[in-house]
A and B are shown apart, each in its own frame.
Chain A
Amino acid sequence: MSNRLHPRSFLWGLLPLLALLLATPARALDGNALLKQLDHNLEPESYEMYRKLINIEPDGKKKEYVLYTVKKGRDKMVALFLDPPSDKGRATLRLGDNMWLYIPNVGKPLRITSLQSVVGGVFNNADILALDYSVEYNVDKVEETGSSYILSLKARTAAVAYDRLKVWVDKATVLPVTIEAYAASGLLIKALHFSDIKDFGGGIKRPSVMETDSPLYKGYKSVMLYSSLRARSFPDEVFTLNYLPRAGELR
Chain B
Amino acid sequence: MRRLFCACLSLWLPSAAAHESYSFDVSQFEKKPFEFNGYAELKAEQFTFDRRAALYQLGFFDQPPRDDFDRGTGSLQLEGLYRHGIATAHVLAYGSYTHDDTGNDRDTRFYEASVSVQPSSHATYDLGKKTLSWGKGYAWNPIGFVQRAKDPNDPELSREGFVIADGDFVRSFDSTLKTIALTPLVVPTTAGINTDFGTADHLNPAAKVYFLYADTDIDLMMLGAGAKSARYGVDFSRNLGTNLELHGEWAHITDAARPVVDSAGNITPVEASATSYLVGLRYLSDSLLTTILEYYYNGAGYSEGEMRTFSSVVHDAYDQYQATGNAMPLTKLRIALQPAMAKPNPGRRYLYLRLSQQEPFDILYFTPALTTIVNADDRSYSVAPELLYTGVTNLELRFRVFWLHGARLTDFGEKQNDRRVELRARYYF
Contact = CB atoms under 8 A, between A and B. Distances in A.
Interface of A: 50, 52, 54-55, 57, 61, 63-64, 66, 68, 82-86, 88-89, 95-99, 103-108, 110-117, 120-121, 158-161, 183, 209, 217-220, 223, 225, 227-228, 234-243, 246, 248-249, 251
Interface of B: 22, 24, 26, 29-31, 37, 39, 79, 83, 88, 116, 118, 121-122, 124, 131-136, 138, 155-159, 168, 170-174, 178-179, 181, 183, 210, 212, 215, 217, 237-239, 241-245, 247, 282, 284, 286, 290, 358-359, 362, 364-365, 390-391, 393-396, 428-429
A88 B429 CA distance: 10
Contacts of A113: 239, 241-245, 282, 284
B178 A50 contact: no
Given A85-B37, A241-B179, A249-B88, A98 B212 contact: yes
A183 B168 CA distance: 41
Nearest to B366: A120
A85 B428 contact: yes
A111 B362 contact: no
B210 A209 contact: no
Given A105-B157, A111-B247, A227-B24, A243 B121 contact: yes
A57 B364 contact: yes
Contacts of A63: 364-365, 391, 393
A84 B393 contact: yes
Contact of A158 (B37, B172, B242): B242
15 contacts: A50-B26, A54-B22, A63-B365, A63-B391, A82-B29, A85-B428, A98-B215, A107-B133, A111-B239, A113-B241, A113-B245, A115-B284, A116-B284, A120-B359, A251-B30
Contacts of B136: 111
Contact of A86 (B124, B245, B358, B390): B390
B37 A88 contact: yes
Contacts of B365: 63, 120
A40 to B, nearest CB: 21
A106 B133 contact: yes
Contacts of B393: 63-64, 84, 86
A-B interface, 3 closest residue pairs, ranked by CB to CB distance from nearest:
A236-B172, A107-B133, A108-B133
B172 A237 contact: yes
Nearest to A95: B178
B362 A220 contact: yes
Given A111-B245, A112-B245, A115-B243, 17 more contacts: A63-B365, A85-B37, A86-B428, A99-B239, A106-B155, A107-B132, A107-B158, A108-B135, A110-B138, A120-B359, A159-B241, A220-B364, A223-B22, A237-B172, A242-B179, A246-B116, A249-B118
Contacts of A209: 22
A209 B210 CA distance: 39
Contacts of B173: 236
A161 to B, nearest CB: 6
Contact of A248 (B31, B364, B429): B31
Contact of B394 (A82, A84, A108, A228): A84
A121 B364 contact: yes
A237 B396 contact: no
Contacts of A161: 242
A220 B239 CA distance: 30
B364 A55 contact: yes
Given A111-B237, A246-B124, A241 B217 contact: yes
B29 A83 contact: yes
Contacts of B237: 111
Contacts of B37: 85, 88-89
A227 B30 CA distance: 12
A117 B138 CA distance: 18
Contacts of A227: 24, 26
Contacts of B138: 110
Nearest to A49: B26
A85 B393 CA distance: 9
Given A105-B156, A227-B24, A237 B122 contact: yes
Nearest to B394: A86
Given A105-B156, A158-B242, A225 B24 contact: yes
Contacts of A242: 124, 168, 170, 179, 181, 183, 210
